[in-house]
Structure 1
Amino acid sequence: MTPVSTSPAARRSAFTQPERPRDLQIRYLTVGGSYVDVTPAANKRLGSRWHCHGCKAVSEFPDTDYLSRIREKANDHAGSCRAIPLT
């Protein structure tokens, strides 16, 4: 009997990516196999926001976080979020 792989790559392959928003800037893959999307905030001239498809967490200050700062926050969340996609 062949053992079942429990590597992160094997877990990730079981999930499909959610639809990509038209204004998607960056998409990160989480530890749990979900995705964190970075998109422009409501005030598209200044801010960016992130949204986790796994645990549903979002940016705290999307209208004031520039892409250069939000990128690090989204990546940090993706590196620690273990929630799996529900859809």
Structure 2
Amino acid sequence: MARGPGRREGPLRSGTGFIKSLGKALSLLDCFTESEPQWRLTDLARRLDLPKSTVSNILTTLEAFGYVRQFPDGSYGLGLRVFELGF
């Protein structure tokens, strides 16, 4: 799932103040890496162990805000908004 310093492996945690839907969306964004810049819906759902409908809804929302974009072949990649955050 998530990689790098300070990132955790395994299932999404829960507890006071933790927003599960936001955690799912951020875990999805963490899947996009330099070595794996494009993902298909089915592969993301499998990787995150989430229903395809949930992943589809997250992707639709992230796309509406510019955080991901869908390519003509149906795969998804990071959108311009992600790079703007790195200003």
Is the pair's TM-score, using the shorter chain for normalization, greater than 0.5?
A: no
| More strand as a share of residues | 1
TM range (shorter): under 0.3
Q: Greater RCO between the two (CA within 8 Å, min separation 6)?
A: 1
| More helix as a share of residues | 2
Task: Report the TM-score when normalising by structure 2.
Answer: 0.27
Task: Report the TM-score when normalising by structure 1.
Answer: 0.27
Q: Which has the larger radius of gyration?
A: 1
